[in-house]
Structure 1
């Protein structure tokens, strides 16, 4: 079975119909069989997600909308984004799997995030934050993360 390098949420797999890539911490102690992939992401057969119970709950948790702020090592550059899977998206940025601004400026450190109930709410918040002055963004990050530490370990 070949999993795309981007570790997308769905993809064709020869004997599995569709596959879902889920952060490992959502699978611990669930009893669902899974296959290791890239340290913390695991692949589970889609039929686990088509039946009521923990499979659907697993996908719902994994698909929690979030707004996040990444920075470079010296905190001079900020990137604001929105995603339905924070762990997966930050992983992609950290490993330069996404071409663009974050890859060009080496913006890989998660310094802020907030979880939302629905994607439309998260998108509105992302757009608002992108219009903020830099000082306001700095204050927002400092309130949650005074030392601007990488929060990656807190989400995996």
Structure 2
């Protein structure tokens, strides 16, 4: 199994993370609308945007989207840098695994979400699984090296 499998995994994983991060950070109102969050309250035929998401909330969304974008950018760039592939695979697996764990927690606490979120959950599950499989099948490559060899005394 060559390095091309890890590179393909990182390319797909990184692009998905970049797109999600860019969508959330650059268009937070569209993101909220896609989640059925009202952007204001309709009064007398018009929408009062003062009753929608606060500037602070939008700021937090943009910041979280920016963090997601940055993680995706690192994972994507690592596709082309041999020295970064190993760490990027671990970061990608951790990223998707955290989403799976907390989405599952949300399913238990909040109920089953929309179809779009369930599809995202399945994609995250597949990407985490493929990353873990990659690490497992190439575990000799992904083992951490000891910095100092122990001295054995007889």
Q: Pick 1 or 2: higher relative contact order, CA cutoff 8 A, min separation 6.
A: 2
Higher strand share: 1
| Structure with the bigger percentage of helix | 2
TM-score by structure 1 length?
0.24
Larger Rg: 2
